[in-house]
Amino acid sequence: MNFYQLNAIVIIVIMIGFAVRILGNSLAFYVANLLVPGFVVNGGIKEYLIAGILLGFLNLLVKPLLKLVAMPLIVLSLGLFSFIINGLILWAIDYIFDFITIENLMALFWTVVIIGIVNIIASVGAKIID
């Protein structure tokens, strides 16, 4: 096996892990839509996948930068400020897409909790694949 074949295999494995996270995010939006009053996703599978893709990209690109900037607050709050960062990212998704509606702060809170739990499970699944 040469260097290029090994690189191709590594890239495929990384992409499969990212796809698992996107599907996990989409599933998290679906579960939150079912369980949280005040959180509504209008549409079908396509809308869940679009929201899951955007959440995956924001978690990959924007969240590390926000955590770096907010590191002192995260340390002072013993990690609870990470929850606020997750809420801001979810609020940004609500702001970007018309088919997602978050009606109040309690709906935002419980949606962040559900998405966080499903993301932990999806991360474990993605690491098993990696």
d(CA 81, CA 87): 10
Q: Which residue blocks in 1-130 are alpha helix, DSSP H? A: 3-35, 45-69, 71-76, 81-96, 105-129
pLDDT of 112: 95
Q: pTM to 2 decimals?
A: 0.86
pLDDT of 7: 76
- Asked if the model's pLDDT at residue 96 lies above 80, the reply is yes
- Asked if the model's pLDDT at residue 31 lies above 90, the reply is yes
pLDDT of 1: 67
d(CA 4, CA 10): 10
Distance of CA 78 to the CA centre of its chain: 21
Domain chopping of the chain, boundaries: 32-129
**Token reading at 27:** 């599933």
pLDDT in tens, 49-62: 999 999 989 988 99
- Residue 100 has a CB neighbour count (10 Å cut-off) of 24
